[in-house]
């Protein structure tokens, strides 16, 4: 049986955990060779081992997305190994939360921007030339519901995700203008149950609580579908945008959020 991205080569940043892990696994299951990149040298190789065990093809490449020098090496390594690049999933990201923007240090603001925004810029700058050689392809940028709506305590994160949203549209227009066959879209997850929530500082969002944020508890109250999403549900959206099934889709934003962006619903007791 032919997979939905059979024979294509994909690069997924932040592929060692959560959404990136699910995306890497699904693209591999659907026939792509996947370069899984991450700073996590423990989980990254484990994700690749799992993909190979399931009969897929993948390699792990250590990468900090904020390093331009490393981007040049990573793209060269992917081309050397697989001979081409068709799909870029720019997914690596972190969330820094502070009770108030007045509490945010310039250092944290810059770190938030370096990973979530500089990293996405560098991914496109260095992957586009390789993708153009193949005559087409798909770039998927991981934004967030926080790139569409404000989120108290997460203003720096929101700023990066809003930036990613319009960066994707502008690159989509650049690619369309030169007719390189590359489509560019953003994905906007709502509350997804991944390890990211445990990494957000415990004074999270200024609610004075010390326990780590529980995404399921949060989503039950805030989401019309009354539950957190699974990373696999975001991966399905990425697969659609990465594959030829979305051949007429560019510059668009795919919201996968259990209905949060559409409005509120009265909660049943």
Ligand X SMILES: NC(=O)c1ccc[n+]([C@@H]2O[C@H](COP(=O)([O-])OP(=O)(O)OC[C@H]3O[C@@H](n4cnc5c(N)ncnc54)[C@H](O)[C@@H]3O)[C@@H](O)[C@H]2O)c1
| Binding-site ranges for ligand X (CB under 6 A) | 13-14, 16-20, 38-40, 63-66, 91-95, 115, 142, 144, 189, 191-192, 194-196, 199
Instruction: Provide, rounded to whole angstroms, the least separation between the CB of residue 17 and ligand X.
Output: 3
Instruction: Provide, rounded to whole angstroms, the least separation between the CB of residue 196 and ligand X.
Output: 3
Q: Any catalytic annotation for residue 248? A: no
Instruction: Provide, rounded to whole angstroms, the least separation between the CB of residue 233 and ligand X.
Output: 11
Task: Report the residue number, 34 or 115, with the smaller CB distance to ligand X.
Answer: 115
Tokens representing residue 261 in the block: 């962006």
Q: Exactly one of 82, 157, 240, 248 is catalytic; name it.
A: 157
Query: What is the spatial distance between Cα 1 and Cα 77, in angstroms, rounded to a whole number?
Result: 29
Tokens representing residue 167 in the block: 């960066």
Q: What is the DSSP string of 64-107?
A: -TT-HHHHHHHHHHHHHHHS---EEEE--------SSGGG--HH
What is the helix (H) or strand (E) element at residue 60, kind and residue range? Answer: strand 57-62
Query: What is the spatial distance between Cα 184 and Cα 200, in angstroms, rounded to a whole number?
Result: 29
Task: Report the residue number, 131 or 234, with the smaller CB distance to ligand X.
Answer: 234
Contact 238, 89 (CB under 8 A): yes
Query: What is the spatial distance between Cα 187 and Cα 143, in angstroms, rounded to a whole number?
Result: 6
Instruction: Provide, rounded to whole angstroms, the least separation between the CB of residue 189 and ligand X.
Output: 4
Sequence-separated (6 or more) residues with CB below 8 Å from residue 217 = none
Task: Report the residue number, 49 or 247, with the smaller CB distance to ligand X.
Answer: 49
Task: Report the residue number, 85 or 256, with the smaller CB distance to ligand X.
Answer: 256
Could you give the residue numbers annotated as active site? 157
């Amino acid at each position: 049986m032919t997979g939905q991205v059979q024979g294509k080569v994909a690069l997924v940043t932040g592929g060692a955990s959560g959404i990136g892990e699910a995306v890497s696994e699904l693209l591999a299951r659907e026939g792509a060779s996947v370069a899984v990149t991450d700073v996590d040298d423990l989980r990254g190789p484990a994700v690749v081992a799992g993909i190979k065990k399931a009969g897929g093809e993948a390699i792990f490449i250590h990468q900090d997305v904020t390093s331009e020098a490393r981007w040049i090496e990573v793209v060269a390594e992917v081309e050397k190994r697989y001979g081409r690049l068709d799909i870029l999933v720019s997914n690596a990201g972190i969330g820094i939360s502070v009770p108030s923007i007045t509490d945010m240090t310039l250092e944290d603001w810059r770190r938030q921007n370096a990973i979530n925004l500089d990293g996405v810029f560098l991914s496109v700058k260095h992957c586009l030339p390789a993708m153009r050689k193949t005559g087409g392809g798909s770039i998927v940028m991981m934004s967030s519901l926080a790139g569409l709506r404000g989120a108290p305590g997460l203003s720096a994160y929101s700023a990066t995700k809003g930036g990613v949203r319009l960066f994707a549209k502008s690159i989509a227009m650049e690619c369309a203008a030169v007719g390189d066959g590359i489509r560019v879209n953003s994905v906007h997850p709502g509350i997804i149950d991944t390890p990211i929530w445990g990494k957000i500082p415990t004074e999270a969002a200024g609610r004075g609580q010390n326990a780590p944020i529980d995404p399921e508890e949060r989503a039950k109250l805030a989401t019309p579908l009354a539950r957190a999403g699974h990373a696999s549900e975001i991966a399905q959206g990425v697969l659609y945008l990465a594959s030829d099934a979305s051949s007429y889709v560019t510059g668009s934003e795919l919201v996968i959020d259990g209905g949060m962006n559409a409005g509120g619903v009265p909660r049943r007791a």
